[in-house]
């Protein structure tokens, strides 16, 4: 049985997406603490929170990639 090659690029993507999850949680905490979303700061936090949902799709991509390369 041959040993499969380790993909270091996937590890880099995992680190990038983990950092994105942390940023998303920080933005959520600040947006919840702000309360009033009608202010410019509130709008900025809400838009930042929406932009930072990319890790969800990134982890799904990594899962499919690893499953595809495994077979």
The pLDDT of residue 53: 87
Yes or no: say if 24 and 49 are a contact pair by the CB < 8 Å rule: yes
* Residue 44 CB neighbour total at 10 angstroms: 14
Q: Can you give the pTM of this predicted structure?
A: 0.76
Model pLDDT, residue 59 = 92
How far is Cα 33 from Cα 41, in angstroms, rounded to an integer? 12
Over residues 21-41, the mean pLDDT reads 82
* DSSP-derived 3-state class of residue 10: helix
50: pLDDT confidence band, cut at 50, 70 and 90?
confident
Confirm if 48 and 30 have CB atoms less than 8 A apart: no
């Amino acid at each position: 049985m041959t040993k499969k090659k380790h993909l270091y690029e996937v590890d880099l993507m995992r680190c990038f997406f983990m950092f994105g999850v942390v940023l998303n949680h920080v933005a959520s905490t600040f947006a919840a603490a702000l309360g009033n979303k009608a202010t410019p700061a509130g709008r900025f936090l809400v838009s930042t929170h929406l932009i930072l949902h990319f890790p969800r799709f990134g982890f799904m991509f990594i899962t499919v990639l690893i499953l595809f390369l495994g077979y």
